Amino acid sequence: MKGHAPIAGDNRFSGELFASQMERALLENFQISRQQGPESKTHTLPEIEERLEGVVRVKNEAGLNELRENARVIADKLDMKIEFEKLNKLISALLSTHPSKI
């Protein structure tokens, strides 16, 4: 899919194709998708939560906070502030610092 050009931290996939780094991929998953179900370009909220819970299991809360800060920087670069706010609310809810309203 066509999108923003690769940024530092994205991974070369094949030739000129790049795969988004985790923080960017999470932000992209909060973009509005016109497709629903198996044809959707985004993961479901439970799938995103599972991914974030995996970060906590492996890297503890500090790792999740680091992911959030990296996502904040990327969101500024790619003009994805709305998507960052959604991700931030989910991370805050997982860390029990704020109620989730997603």
d(CA 46, CA 36): 15
CB environment 1-17: b (16+ within 10 A), e (fewer): eeeeebeeebeeeeeee
Residues 95, 75, 50: CA angle, nearest 5 degrees: 35
User: Contact 78/27 with Cβ under 8 angstroms?
Assistant: yes
Question: Each residue's pLDDT tens digit in the chain (102 positions)?
Answer: 567 777 888 778 888 787 788 898 899 899 876 566 666 667 888 999 999 999 999 999 999 999 999 999 999 999 999 999 999 999 999 988 655 555
